[in-house]
Structure 1
């Protein structure tokens, strides 16, 4: 599966700063100091609907992670999956009378177009669950050999008790885990499971649903969590720098994935930091497909909204905060974009070196994009009030906003 084209990232003078970011597993900030190649895995979409603002906010956060690392002169090895076979996709296809593979291809294509328009840096590897199945099957078989998996009516489950570190990503109690498991794709009430929290590794073939040859597992399809584990271990290996996604993935998805990988490899932890973006609401409720309260990136683009304004609207909120999308949020972003573009179109301005360092410092401090915007706003205000004599300053500002915020002025 191919990703989307990369926009060029301008090189800035000087040196960026190491990223200090909040780690869900420790509940505290950690300063990441990757080697020459920083390793990032971000969980991708289940392609049964278009990219909504909640998706965009999540991928915006991890685009900033990449840009901070690139500014430190590192390379970035970024991997993202696509869950192109799963119950929600199959249910949507059946509801609308569509072929599930065609639906997945259609929505993945639209996602790529949205990411291109928003100038999100693409992953080096963009991998669908279906194409990962040959690598998933041996991992499930290995977990069975290790005594960490068991069969139940043809399905294969992972035993959470096989990992002594289970629970150390989300730090939830058993009652909260059970509730979220039921809400987020698990089956805690299924009779015969050793532990209600045990997640499925391999689902035996169901009539009328797609299935693949699973070797000793029989025909079926993979569970959700093992999919990302297989892709991450194959492309990045254990101990990669950041596992990312929305805050709703901390449990069960990232918790279960970490346990799968740790049992498989005997190493701990799977990732050096677990980083989670907040949720975006509309009319007081979390934006989600099940609620039908979605603001789609593609619809905004069709309505003539500049993708750069959409990115500025996202940047106006700290990535870890839960926030609400409103018409005013977008109006403020459009106005900011117009001011910034007017400022950099002038022939000169006040010196911009302090602005560059302020943006760098803000983003290196747990991706504080609102403070980065404020640093640019202060330069724009100085130019509007008193002008300046530095003919290079507008270009420096433009390149900084492009390189570090992904916004083309």
Structure 2
């Protein structure tokens, strides 16, 4: 009896120990499961955070691309692509270039420097990462990147390859990016793939910065050359920029918002963007002003100046007299052309001018074309730059076929030679 009780007690104790051991193992397993689950949540949060950062960077790059594309559109809005490279003070007058009377000079063209402002070529900048085998992946992995599709898949679906306007062609080696290949490889760990995506976005960001630099320099150069031409002609640039701002007032009056100062620690892209926007705005404003400013030549080809502006000996009376324009020798019947757009104020015989045409270009600027053999316009008529206003002749007080050309500001005659020098410096930009 005693032996049986001991046996039962031993069995109960053994069973209790087994139960405790089982519960200990179960608790340890639960602890390991909780640890794995927590680690998975942490990893998931990390992945989602990285994906969110990539999405934000992608949105920033798309915004930058839109801004750069808009700048490109402004710089290439006009068909003009070249500006002359005349230096300040460089003479554009050559003496004795053609058979002419004593003192005759020739205005010669200045060679142009090729300044291309055409839209830069597009480069590949949008692509989706292929998900293979139906494996689960976090949302946002279909980020658009900047390079070729996954190796071995040459066919492009609609929307698979879009373009960023970055202003510089992507090198061929860049398009074969190993980083993007890794990002598209489903066999690699997710953190590695996300890191590869970040590398690809870094490269696109650098290419955009380089493209913006390619816009800044040509725009600055063109704006400087246009400013120089206005300065040579003695025209205040800000006056014409202000006019264009006033014209654009209808689109800028309904704007507003709180003032948020720019971050002085902003990156180079933001600084270059501000510089580019200023340069492009100046360039655009001066281009808009060009049609109504007499920065063109009234005759085609080289100009033979036989008499300059200012005091001279009158060819008929032999006494000192003020010459209110310049005389340009040309063959009888050669077309005389308007040097800017405007409205014809008068057209007909005008005393010593002979047959004369006067054009109002606005802003107090007028031009006169005298000694014409015939007149091709009438008062009140609107003329465009380069339009024929008449033909060279020798009417009025004239000793031979030539064009008497005047420029007046607020009714006062000024030296047209400075406008002709500016026209020569522009070398066809102001068409």
TM-score in terms of structure 2 length: 0.23
Q: Decide which structure has the larger Cα Rg and report it.
A: 2
TM-score in terms of structure 1 length: 0.24
